[in-house]
């Protein structure tokens, strides 16, 4: 396959939109589920100490973040969960978390979590019933507990959002049973995640954009959700739906996701605070060049600069360039 080196940030205009000030905080890979697409499938037993987590929280606060997404594994099953919440609150951070819903099916646990600062939950909802969801996450009764957790959040006024990882196990139901379920549960946002073959996820069997994106587009037509995002997907597979795509550079301005510049806790906080926008664009460029590539055919596409391309681990792919003047603005008027 003939590939082409990616362009630098010099070809992309920096947007003046607000930048992300929400940090993703890994509380460890320990988890009580075993999702078949998990990045950390071989590390689900590993526990991170409270002292290490506090160091990460200190760093996040020092970088000027205003919000934090607690992530694992499953953060809510950490034995020091409430101390983690308290320390985030002490540092002035608004708290959200990513969750499989298991612990929050207990409304008393959820109430206590809210009392300790939890304000929002991004649920990983991948199936439309017990059979489909439980198979994907590797635990019986996971779907029942998920639905109960979501209902509890609505009752207590905690913001609900969804992640849906599109796989061979669920894509055929996305635009029918799954859409009906999501509409009934009324999240504020849903994120569709397609391939994401990064780092530890490289072992996952490749799932074609040709299979996943038609189902996603059909779902979008039927969803009644305020915000819909399709993450890290080439534009040529999303014609007519381009404004839903959030790629590496768009992520900088996705204020409900997490800040990519400070994620690995290696950037000097003073350097970041001096010019955060430039540091974010620099990190986006680094990530794109690390994980993605393009074919020479992509040179013909108007989205050449603002599209990531496709993940390097993909060996065979057929792309259809979209003709037109090459765009350098991440958010062209046609996306409005």
- pLDDT recorded at residue 6: 62
CA distance 59 to 63: 6
Measure CA 109 to chain center. Answer: 25
Global model pTM greater than 0.85: yes
Domain regions of the chain by residue span: 3-335
**3 phi, psi to nearest 5 deg:** -115, 165
Fold of 3-335: TIM Barrel (3.20.20)
Gyration radius of the chain's alpha carbons: 20
Contact of 284 with 252, CB cutoff 8 Å: yes
pLDDT at site 200: 42
pLDDT score for 275: 95
- Summarised one tens digit per residue, pLDDT across range 270-287 is 999 999 999 999 999 999
Confidence at residue 202, expressed as pLDDT on a 0 to 100 scale: 43
Per-residue pLDDT, 110: 98
Whether cis (ω within 30° of 0) applies to the bond prior to 79 is no
- SS3 letters for the chain? CCEECCCCHHHCECCCCCCCCEEEEECCCCCCCCCCCCCCHHHCCCCCCHHHHHHHHHHHHHCCCCEEEEECCCHHHCCCHHHHHHHHHHCCCEEEEEECCCHHHCHHHHHHHHHCCEEEEEEECCCCCHHHHHHHHCCCCHHHHHHHHHHHHHHHCCEEEEEEECCCCCHHHHHHHHHHHHHHHCCCEEEEECCCCCHHHHHCCCCCHHHHHHHHHHHHHHCCCCEEEEECCCHHHCCCCHHHEECCCHHHHCCCCCCCCCCCCCCCHHHHHHCHHHHHHHHHHHHHHHHEEEEHHHHHCCCCCCCCCEECCCCCCCCCCCCCCCCCECCCHHHC
Spans of the chain below 70 pLDDT: 1-10, 44, 195-207, 336
Q: Which pLDDT tens digit goes with each residue over 165-206? A: 898 888 888 999 999 999 999 999 999 998 665 544 444 444
């Amino acid at each position: 396959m003939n590939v082409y080196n990616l362009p630098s940030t010099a070809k992309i205009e920096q947007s003046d939109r607000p930048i992300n000030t929400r940090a993703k905080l890994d509380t460890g890979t320990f988890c009580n589920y075993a999702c078949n697409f998990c990045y950390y499938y071989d590390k689900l037993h590993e526990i991170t100490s409270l002292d290490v987590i506090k160091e990460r929280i200190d760093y996040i606060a020092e970088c000027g973040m205003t919000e934090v997404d607690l992530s694992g594994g499953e953060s809510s099953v950490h034995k020091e969960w409430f101390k983690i919440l308290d320390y985030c609150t002490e540092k002035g951070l608004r708290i959200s978390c990513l969750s499989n819903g298991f612990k929050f099916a207990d409304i008393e646990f959820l109430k206590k979590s809210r009392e300790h600062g939890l304000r929002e939950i991004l649920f990983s909802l991948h199936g439309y019933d017990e059979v489909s969801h439980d198979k994907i996450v590797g635990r019986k009764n996971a779907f029942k507990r998920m639905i109960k957790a979501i209902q509890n959040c609505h009752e207590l006024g905690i913001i609900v959002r969804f992640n849906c990882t599109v796989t061979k196990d669920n894509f055929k139901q996305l635009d029918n049973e799954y859409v009906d379920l999501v509409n009934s549960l009324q999240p504020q946002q849903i994120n569709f995640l397609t391939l994401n073959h990064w780092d530890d996820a490289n072992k996952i069997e490749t799932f074609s954009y040709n299979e996943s994106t038609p189902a996603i587009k059909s779902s979008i037509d039927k969803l009644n959700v305020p915000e819909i995002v399709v993450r890290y997907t080439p534009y040529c597979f999303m014609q007519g739906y381009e404004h839903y795509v959030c790629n590496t550079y768009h992520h900088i301005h996705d204020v409900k996701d997490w800040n990519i510049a400070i994620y690995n806790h290696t950037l000097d906080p003073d350097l970041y605070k001096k010019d955060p926008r430039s540091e974010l664009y620099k990190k986006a460029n680094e990530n794109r060049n690390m994980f993605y590539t393009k074919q020479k055919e992509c040179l013909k596409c108007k989205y050449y600069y603002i599209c990531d391309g496709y993940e390097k681990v993909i060996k065979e792919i057929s792309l259809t360039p979209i003709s037109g003047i090459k765009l350098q603005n991440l958010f062209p008027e046609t996306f409005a």
